[in-house]
Structure 1
Amino acid sequence: MGQSHPPFRRTRSRRILGGIRRWVTAAAGALALTGGLIAASPPASAAGLTQVTGFGTNPGNLSMYAYAPEALPAGAPLVIALHGCTQSASDYYAHSGWPKFADTYGFALVFPQTSSANNANSCFNWFEPGDSARGQGEALSIKQMVDRAVSLYGSDTRRVHITGLSAGGAMTANMLAAYPDVFAGGAIASGLPARCANGVAAAYTCMYSPPDRSPAQWGDLVRSAAPAGTTSWPRVAIWQGTADTTVKPANAAELRDQWTNVWGIGQTPSRTESLGAGTTRSVYDDASGRPAVEVYSVSGMGHGLAVDPGSGPEQCGSTGTYYLDTVCSGYHTARFWGLDDGGTGSLPAPTGLTVTGTTDTTVSLNWKAVDGATSYIVYRGGTKVGTTTSTSYTDTGLATGTTYTYTAAAVDTAGAAGVVSSPATATTTGFTPTCHTAGNYDHTVAGRAYQSGGHTYAKGSGQAMGLWNTFTIRTLKQTAPAYYVIADSGCPA
C-alpha cells in the first residue's frame, strides 16, 4: 500500500519468487514513477531528531529515531509516529507537526524508520503477517522501541499512543490490534482496517475495493490478534480525505465499523461537528460518554496527512509530498488523546456535575468544589473546551438542537489535572436544517447515511439512496438531529 502502491516486500527471511513476482515488483515501480508518486526530494532537515541504537533484538530490521523536549519530566506521555511509503523518519518529523505539540504539551516522540532493504518502496510491511502480528518482525521492533523510550524518558506506560500515515497508518491499525495492552490510543491517517490483508494481492483489494465485512467480522479480526482475555481497548482516531484515490474513502467506514464494534458501541455517531477547512468530525462515545472512536473526514483532500502550516495554536506542520494543507490533524489527535491536559494529578473527580441551563447555542454547568483545586478543566466530548477557577462554566458557540456530553477535572497546585468526573449530557434548544450534496460514500463516512448490502440509506428516515459508491450523488436535508431525508429536487436550508 503506502502512498501510491502496495508495498512489495524484499523479504529478509525467505527468498522472493522469480518470474511473476519480479514482474509485479517492476510494474509497481513503473506505476509509482508514471504517477509521479515517488518523492524526488531528499529527506528534510531533522535538527533535534536523534537516532537511538540498541533497542532490542530488532527482528524487523528497523531504525529508531527520537525527539524529546528539553527538561521533559518523568511520567510524560509517549507518541510513536510511523511514516508512509517513500518517506523517512526525518521527513515525517519535519512535516507532520508532531514536534510542535511535543514541545507544547510535553511528551516524547519516536519515529520508527524502515528502508528499501525491507521493502522496495520503504513501506512498513503492514500486509505481511510475519511483520504485523504480535511478537513478530517489524511489529516487535516497534514494541521494543516503546520499551526503550520508556526507559530513556521515564514515559508513563499508561499514556503511550501511536499514529501513522498510509502504510504507517495500516501498520498503526495492526499495532493497536496486536498490542492493546501497550497503546492507550491510535490515529490512522489514510490507512486501512487492522488485518485487512495477508499478502500483496489482498493489499490491492483493501486499498482500492475494501471488503464490505460486518462490524462484528472486522472486530473479530482485532480480537483474534490481541492477547486472549483483552477487555480494554485503545481509543482510535481515523483521518481520511474524500478525494483519496490511493486508499479509497470506504476504508474509513470499515475502520469505524471495526473499532466501534471492538468497543461494543454502535456505528451511529453520538454527534458530528465541523472543524472548518471542509473537515467533519464524527464522534462515537463509549458507555461513560467519553469518545472511543472519532472519524475525521476531510472534504476534497487526496492521499496524505492533513497539516495546516502557521504559528497559530491549532496550526502545525509544513506542506510537502503527502502533507496536504487542510487542517492540523496532529492538534485534534493530541486533544482527542488528552495530551493537552498536563498529566494526571492526584485530585479526585468533581462530583455533582449538572446542567443548569441551555439555549440554542450555550450550555451552563455546575459542580461541587474539590479541596486543593486551583482551577477546573471542562471537557466537551473528551476534548478540553475551557478552564475556570469557579465551580461553574458556560460553553458557547454550540450548534442548535445538538446533544453534548461534558466532564470536568480539578487541577492541583502543580498544574496537573486529576480524575475526570462522571459525564453530564445536555441538548441545546432549537434546530437549524442543513443541506448536504455529496457521493453516497461521503454521506456514509460523514454519518449522514449508512450502508447495507452495498446500498446506501439516509440516516433516520431510512430512505434508499442507491449504490454505495462515489459516483452516486445525492442531496440530503437534515430536518432533525440524526434525521436526514432525500432532497434532490431542491434543498433550501
Structure 2
Amino acid sequence: MAPGTPLVVALHGCTQTAEGYAAGSGWSQLAERRGFAVLYPEQQRSNNANLCFNWFEPGDISRDAGEALSIRQMIGHLVQSQGIDPKRIFITGLSAGGAMANVMLSTYPEIFAGGAIIGGLPYGVAGTVAEAFQRMQGRNPPTVPRLQSVLKRASNHRGPWPRISIWHGTHDQTVRARNAEQIAQQWSGVHSLAIEPTRSELIHGHRRKVWLDAKGMEAVEIYLVKGMGHGVPLATSGDRAIGRAGPHMLEAGISSTVRIAHAWNLATEADVEEAEAGGNFARREEPDAAPSTIDRALRYARSRANAASAAPDGKIAKVINDALRAAGLMR
C-alpha cells in the first residue's frame, strides 16, 4: 500500500458479514480501480446474536468506549502501520452499520473527512430498546435542538466537521425515511446550516437535497431513492457497474457507492457515468429481497401490540423487548 493512501471504513448491516458487504456494495471493486483502501470491521456473534452493530447501546456509542473505541483502534492501527493519509479517512455503513457510522462521525469527528449513512439513524436518539423501536419507525422523534445538542456533546471537537451524505429508500419499512431528514437536521447545527436545503434536484428520478456551508461547499446531502426499500442503492446492469444486487443490495439505477466516492474525490465523474451507463433508471418498487430478522421482529411486535395494549402495564414493553431481542437489537 502506497504511503498517503485514502481509507474508507465500511460497516455492514444486521445479519451481514464483512465479506458479503464488500461483494455486494462494490467498495473493494472500486478501490482496486482507484487505489484507495477499505476497512471492513465485522461484528461478532458474542457481541450481537444477529451481527448488528450496537448502535444505541450506551456502552458502545460513547467516545473511547465499547465498539466505537474498537473501530477507532482499527483505524489507528492502519494509519500507523500502512501509512494511510490521516486527512482522507471516510466512513459509511448500512442500517445498523449506517447508524454506527454516524456514531463514529459524532464521537470522533476529527478523524473523518466525510461520512455516508445509508438507511441509518441519527446519533444518540435511543438508549433503550423501546426507544430504538420507535426511532426506527420514525415515531416520537427528538426535537431539532435535542438532535443537535447530543451531537455537540459527543466530543470536544469544534471543527472542521466531516461532510455528510445520507441515502434512504422512500419505501423503507425497516428504518423509515423520516430518519434521513433527522440526520440532516442533526448535522446542520455544527455546520451552521439552515434547516431548509440550499438546493433540491432530481437525479435519475431520485430526490437529492443539498446544504451548502458559508464557503459554498456541499456540507450535507440527502438522496431519497424513489420506491426503494431497506438497502444499499446500486446500479448493476452496465458493463462497468459496481456492486452486485442481492439481499439489502438493491438495484435502483443509481450507484450510491460510486457517487459517495466521487463526493469524497475518490472517484471521477466518468466513474459515475460508467457505473450508471446501464440506463436502468425506472422507479424501483423493489422490497427487500428477503424478510430480514429485523423485519420479522417488527412485524411480530406490531401483531402483538393490540393484544398487549389491553394487558397490564409492562406487557407492551415486554412485546417490544422480545421483538428487538429476536432481531439482535437487544442483548
TM-score bracket for this pair, using the shorter chain length: 0.7 to 0.9
2:190 maps to 262
TM-aligned CA deviation for residue 142 of structure 1: 0.2
TM-score, structure 2 normalization: 0.78
In the alignment, the residues of structure 2 paired with residue 150 and residue 285 of structure 1 have an alpha-carbon distance, to the nearest angstrom, of 30
Mapped contact 2:110–2:159 kept (Cα < 8 A): no
Instruction: State the distance in 2 between where 1:160 and 1:273 align.
Output: 28
Which residue is 2:3 aligned to? 74
Separation of aligned partners in 1, 2:140 and 2:103: 17
Structure number with higher helix proportion:
2
The answer to whether the 8 Å contact 2:110/2:157 transfers is no
Amino acid at match of 2:202: S
Deviations 1:170-195 (A, max 9, x none): 11111100000111111000000011
The alpha carbon displacement at 1:311 in A equals 4.5
Q: CA-to-partner distance for each residue in 1:87-120, whole Å, 9 max, x for gaps?
A: 0000001100111221222210000001221112
1:233 aligned to 148, 154, 161, which one?
161
Within 5 Å, give how 1:261-410 maps onto structure 2. 261-276=189-204, 278-312=205-239, 315-326=241-252, 327-340=254-267
CA gap of 1:171–1:231, structure 2 versus 1, over 3 A, is same
- State the match for 2:147 in structure 1: 218
Partner of 1:243: 171
For 1:338, the aligned partner's letter is N
Amino acid in the other structure paired with 2:175: V
In structure 2, what is the Cα distance between the partners aligned to 1:312 and 1:136?
44
Equivalent of 1:204, from 105, 117, 133?
133
Distance 1:310 1:156 in 2: 33
Seen in structure 2, the aligned counterparts of structure 1 residues 384 and 222 have a Cα distance that, compared at 3 Å, is farther
Mark the structure with the bigger radius of gyration.
1
The number of aligned residues is 271
Distance (Å, rounded) in 2 between the aligned partners of 1:222 and 1:192: 13
State the shift of 1:210 in Å.
Answer: 4.0
Match of residue 171 from structure 1: 100
Shift of 1:199: 2.1
Cα drift, residue 270 of structure 1: 1.7
Native 8 Å contact 2:3 2:83 kept in 1:
yes
The residue type paired with residue 274 of structure 1 is L
Does residue 1:126 correspond to 2:52, yes or no? no
Who is 2:297 aligned against? Answer: none
Quick one: distance in 2 between partners of 1:337 and 1:193?
A: 21
SS in structure 1 at match of 2:153: helix
CA distance in 1, matches of 2:74, 2:238: 31
- How do 1:139-150 residues align onto structure 2 when only pairs under 5 Å count? 139-150=68-79
Query: What pairs up with 1:4-43 in 2 under 5 angstroms?
Result: none
- Secondary structure of the residue aligned to 1:193 is coil
- Measured after TM superposition, the shift of residue 73 of structure 1 is 2.1
Output aligned runs, 1:87-102, within 5 Å.
Answer: 87-102=16-31
Percentage of identical aligned residues = 44
Deviation at 1:205, TM superposition (A): 1.1
Q: Which amino acid aligns with 1:288?
A: K
Q: What's the CA shift for 1:275?
A: 2.0
Looking at structure 2, the residues matched to 312 and 219 of structure 1 have their Cα atoms a distance apart, in angstroms, of: 43
Contact 2:58 2:127 in 1 (8 A): yes
Runs of 4+ deviating beyond 6 Å:
none
The answer for unaligned runs of 5 or more in structure 1 is: 1-71, 342-382, 386-493
CA distance in 2, matches of 1:81, 1:144: 15
CA contact (8 A) 1:305 1:324 kept: yes
**Superposed displacement of residue 253, structure 1:** 0.9
- Kindly provide the CA deviation profile for residues 42-98 of structure 1, in whole angstroms up to 9, marking residues without a partner as x: xxxxxxxxxxxxxxxxxxxxxxxxxxxxxx421121000000000000000110011
Q: Give the whole-Å Cα distance in 1 for the aligned partners of 2:239 and 2:143.
A: 41
Work out the CA distance in 2 between the residues paired with 1:195 and 1:119.
Answer: 19
Larger relative contact order, structure 1 or 2 (CA cutoff 8 Å, min sep 6): 2
**What TM-score do you get using the length of structure 1 for normalisation?**
0.53
Structure 2, gaps ≥5 residues long: 272-331
CA displacement at 1:213 relative to structure 2: 3.0
Deviation at 1:229, TM superposition (A): 4.6
SS in 1 for 2:220: strand
1:260 CA drift (Å): 1.3
Q: Secondary structure at the residue paired with 2:147?
A: helix
* 2:234 alignment partner AA: V
CA RMSD of aligned residues (A): 1.9
